[in-house]
Chain A
Amino acid sequence: MAIEFQDISDTLRTVSISGRMDLVGTDEIATRFAALTASSGRRIVLDLVGVAFLASIGIRAIITNAKALQQRGGRMVIFVGDNQAVYKTLETTGLDSLIPLFSDMAAAQLAVAQ
């Protein structure tokens, strides 16, 4: 389980998660995931391309952090690339109607910056 970030600008950050977002994996990254997405007004592209397995506990963590970010005046979008399994899981839970999903990184960055 790994979580990394890259600041594209003062306000735009990509946060990339890779590995298994199951009960164990989500717990491993929970503290850092919350910390990396907590800044006021920040725009976050959450990159899930490297997620090999996504369970509901992982989706809960994404919702919790996206909601906290929104309450601080920020925004989150999700970049899934061509990760079909993760896309299907997010779509099945209806998360795509709460947080915009993108298969293209440039489009994701453009949308979240607006």
Chain B
Amino acid sequence: MAVRELPFGPELHIRAVVADVRLASEWLAREAGGVPSEALGRLELCLNEALANVIAHGGDSAAAQSVALQVCVQQDMGEAAVSVTDAGPAFDATSAALKEPAHSLADATPGGLGLLLMRKLSDALAYHRADDKNVLTITVRWA
């Protein structure tokens, strides 16, 4: 499938550490100020979950380099996208297996909810590997 080139604008580099995730949220709020709050909320949540995955599973290779974030807001199309580029091991959040939902609290095990949130709350999720890096693009749309 062809990857549509988005006119990405502002970029932010952060470390793959917990303390920097809020910098990403603040940056997104600044750069995507005109996006309706419902859509912006979904985009921010998906971005947080993507970064949490990089921090938890990216290992030494992700920690050794900065994580690059880019945002693209297309008001006329009612669409906003954020791309997350990290140097961790190959991980495709668009196709990784989702956990079976628990049917009771006693059966519930922690974990796996971030992937579920990203898949369900984004309107498009695209992944490719480029230059030994993961590039995940999260898109939300509004009417």
Contact = CB atoms under 8 A, between A and B. Distances in A.
A93 B22 contact: no
Given A23-B18, A27-B18, A89-B117, A57 B105 contact: no
Chain B: interface residue count, which band?
20 to 34
A46 to B, nearest CB: 13
A92 B121 contact: yes
A20 to B, nearest CB: 8
Contact of B25 (A22, A60, A94): A22
A85 B41 contact: yes
Given A70-B105, A85-B41, A92-B117, A22 B48 contact: yes
Given A53-B44, A55-B45, A56-B113, A92 B120 contact: yes
Given A55-B49, A89-B45, A24 B108 contact: no
A11 interface: no
Interface stretch (B5-13, B76-84, B96-104, B126-134): B96-104
Contacts of B114: 55-56
B19 interface: yes
30 contacts: A22-B22, A22-B48, A23-B18, A23-B21, A24-B18, A24-B22, A27-B18, A53-B48, A55-B45, A55-B48, A55-B114, A56-B49, A56-B113, A56-B114, A56-B116, A60-B110, A60-B111, A67-B105, A67-B106, A67-B108, A70-B106, A89-B45, A92-B117, A92-B121, A93-B116, A93-B117, A94-B101, A97-B101, A97-B103, A99-B105
Interface of A: 20, 22-24, 27, 53-57, 59-60, 63-64, 66-67, 70, 85, 89, 92-94, 97-99
Given A23-B55, A63-B110, A93-B116, 4 more contacts: A22-B25, A24-B19, A56-B117, A60-B110
